[in-house]
A and B are shown apart, each in its own frame.
Chain A
Amino acid sequence: MPRVAPSVPALVGIGLAGGFFGALFGVGGGIVVVPLLILLAGFRVKTATATSLAIIGFTAIFGVLAFSVLGHVYWGDAALVGLPALGGTLAGTWAHRRMSSRMLTFLFAGFLILVAVRLVLE
């Protein structure tokens, strides 16, 4: 917990930015919210990461509501990737305690670049 409670305007700004980014890209917005909580609200990394998960929960629910109005949410496909991801989250936490992630991080980064190239060429 931060020593001084973060100001409401800072939190509102962080929420607005995270929500906008999360909906625009469909990713939830952690990549924006975590650094903003550290820089603007004075959070430590661990608290920022944990609190961003709770914020992303709100963002994802609002996002589903917004896109349901626009008519684009495919629930069957959401379950198809979302439910296996639950198992993966548990496995990932387990693996994280047991191995160095340096090589994995660089492999993952390389993989993301490949996917980016594929998306642009599609």
Chain B
Amino acid sequence: MTTVLLAVALGFAAGVLSGTFGVGGGILFVPTLTLVVGLSQLGAQATSLAAMIPVVALGAWRQHREGVVDWRAATIAGLASGAGVAGGALLADALGDATLRRLFAGLLVVTAAHLAWSEARSPRA
């Protein structure tokens, strides 16, 4: 029960953060699914992509209404991403959970640095 409530709260937080900072929900979905729900790193990454679909669909629809989505570019890059996904998924599957987890920890540090750096550089509100 505690696990479910914590997972729901962190899922909500992931949505808040994607709406606030423009980072995808995945950066919080993945550690929630490993550390709270108890999935393997690979299972968490696969499940995070599924969890992202409704969030991204809502975001894309709202941006579409504002007329700022370039659909030609999105369709070309989006279809091409399929081939990249195949490579990334096969590599993730081959790397093993411990390596994948350390790589993801590295991504968290890079994302944190990127957020802090962009914020420090932007003019004070």
Q: How far is A20 from B103 in the complex, measured between Cα atoms in Å?
A: 14
Are B22's CB and A49's CB within 8 A? yes
Segment 86-125 of B: residues with Cβ below 8 Å from A: 86-89, 91-93, 101-109, 111-116, 119, 124-125
Asked if A38 is an interface residue, CB under 8 A from chain B, the answer is: no
Are B111's CB and A31's CB within 8 A? yes
- Secondary structure of the B contact surface, majority rule: helix
Asked if A8 is an interface residue, CB under 8 A from chain B, the answer is: yes
Segment 1-56 of B: residues with Cβ below 8 Å from A: 4, 7-27, 29-35, 37, 39-40, 42-56
Q: How far is A19 from B102 in the complex, measured between Cα atoms in Å?
A: 20
Are B114's CB and A89's CB within 8 A? no
Partner of A81, one of B33, B35, B68: B33
Shortest Cβ gap from A116 to chain B (Å): 4
B: number of interface residues (CB 8 Å): 97
Nearest neighbor of A17 in chain B, beta-carbon distance: B84
Are A122's CB and B101's CB within 8 A? yes
Q: How far is A120 from B102 in the complex, measured between Cα atoms in Å?
A: 6
User: B26 contacts which chain A residues (CB < 8 A)?
Assistant: 22, 25-28
Known: A22-B85, A26-B45, A81-B29. A53 touches B15 (CB 8 A): no
Shortest Cβ gap from B6 to chain A (Å): 10
Shortest Cβ gap from A27 to chain B (Å): 3
Nearest neighbor of B22 in chain A, beta-carbon distance: A49
Are A6's CB and B81's CB within 8 A? no
Are A82's CB and B12's CB within 8 A? no
Segment 65-115 of A: residues with Cβ below 8 Å from B: 66-68, 70, 72-75, 77-96, 100-102, 104-106, 108-110, 112-113, 115
By a beta-carbon cutoff of 8 Å, the part of chain B in contact with chain A is: 4, 7-27, 29-35, 37, 39-40, 42-60, 63-64, 66, 68-89, 91-93, 101-109, 111-116, 119, 124-125
